[in-house]
Amino acid sequence: MLIVFGGLPGVGKTTVARAVSRALRAVYLRVDSIEQALRGEGAKVWAEGYAAAYAVAGDNLALGRVVLADCVNPLPVTREAWVNVAAKAGARLVEIELICSDPREHRRRVEGRAADIPGHVVPDWESVLTHEYEPWGRPRVVMDTAGRIEADVIREVLARLV
């Protein structure tokens, strides 16, 4: 199974994705970590982080592992690439979009974040508001994290993966 978390920065993707990955003993791929590693080597990063994540996901799916990808997944092209990774491996794909419907709470989360990857610069509120993020054109699991405790969101995600 390939589980792909998407959503704007600050909606709770990494918190939920890490917990779900732990619970499932899944391979955890965080595109931010991959991209920062590339930047640390002097690369200018555009699509390279996603391309690396697709390849590593495919390798692990071929080994029969559950793979969880944590990424913004902002565009139809990135979403379709994950579909192709799962299809090539013959794996079930579960796409989960996390949102935070309360703008004040979302802003508070974004502004209260600290980088947890050395050298990574977390986005500010303005960059979240202007982030390229196109509407989804197909069914997926949508979960609103506004006003909810993390444990409840995590339990709900795990229940939907059965």
From start to end of the chain, where are the E strands? 2-6, 27-30, 67-70, 93-99, 141-144
User: Residue 157: its pLDDT value, please?
Assistant: 97
Mean pLDDT of 150-160: 97
CA–CA gap between residue 154 and residue 58 (Å, rounded)? 25
pLDDT of residue 162 exceeding 90, the answer is no
131-145: pLDDT as tens digits:
999 999 999 999 999
What is the pLDDT averaged over residues 5-28?
98
Number of domains in the chain: 1
Q: By C-alpha distance, which of 131, 149, 125 is closest to 8? A: 131
Mean pLDDT of 59-85: 98
Q: What does the pLDDT read at residue 124?
A: 97
pLDDT tens, position by position, 75-127: 999 999 999 999 999 999 999 999 999 999 999 999 999 999 999 999 999 99
Give the C-alpha separation, 10 to 16, whole Å.
11
* First-last CA distance in the chain: 11
What is residue 107's predicted lDDT score, i.e. its pLDDT? 98
Are 8 and 128 spatial neighbours (Cβ–Cβ below 8 Å)? yes
The pLDDT tens digits of the residues spanning 18-59 come to 999 999 999 999 999 999 999 999 999 989 999 999 999 999
CATH of the domain at 43: 3.40.50.300
What domain range includes position 35? 2-66+75-160
* Entry pTM: 0.96
pLDDT (0 to 100) of residue 46: 87
146-161 residues labelled b (16+ CB within 10 A) or e (exposed): eeeeeeebbeebeeeb
pLDDT of 102 reads 98
Q: For the residues 56-78, what does the mean pLDDT come to?
A: 98
